[in-house]
Chains A and B, each alone.
Chain A
């Protein structure tokens, strides 16, 4: 199984400041035939289902604010919130869909400092 490890488990950031979440996979999620990273980021607010933010590691889903960006390739990935807003308080998950079992990181809780 591919193990997804996020860091940190939680972080507190001041409004307007940058938040950075890391995600490391135990093996590559880069599919060589199409050069795509099978890595997705989701946001989950309390009492709600997850919401798709970023797919293919760096493609922002339609309607997602451009303060959210994803980067990385192979086994190391980053989700960046460039200027944290109050509505960004949530738990963020990375997930690989390179192979089954499809696996998630443990989640990173983002709060306001």
Chain B
């Protein structure tokens, strides 16, 4: 069974850092581009970042550029999102998603990040 499981969310103070992980199972992570998408409380979906299959190319939304870093360890079948200089507006559920033929066919259940003092 294909599965994506996020972890690492929690409560962090403004200006703090957090690293999210997304463990993939049931498929070979190295064959897919991967993305992070977030959803603020009661809000819509917002794309955050993407990484190509071998990790050599990354892209970010302007709102997180310079603060977030996406990476992957294909040997460990794991995707990461290192978040720093966190702001209250970064509060959201963060989803990892698998890209197939350009669409996101698999999603994790999400991990909640709350930025608050």
Q: A55-B101, A55-B102, A97-B102 are in contact. Are A102 and B107 (CB under 8 A)?
A: no
Complex CA distance for A70 and B110, rounded to whole angstroms: 27
Complex CA distance for A105 and B46, rounded to whole angstroms: 10
Most chain B beta-carbon contacts within 10 A, residue among A49, A52, A95, A101: A49
Q: A49-B107, A61-B105 are in contact. Are A107 and B47 (CB under 8 A)?
A: no
Mostly, the A contact residues are loop
Mostly, the B contact residues are strand
Proximity string of chain A (46-62) to chain B, C-beta cutoff 8 Å, 1 when within and 0 when not = 00111110011000010
Q: Report B-chain residues with C-beta under 8 Å of the C-beta of A38.
A: 102
A52 near B47 with CB under 8 A, answer no
B11 at the interface (CB under 8 A from A): no
Give the B-binding residues of A (Cβ under 8 A).
38, 40, 42, 44, 48-52, 55-56, 61, 93, 95, 97, 100-107
Closest 10 CB pairs of A and B: A49-B107, A55-B103, A102-B47, A104-B45, A40-B103, A97-B102, A107-B44, A101-B61, A100-B59, A52-B105
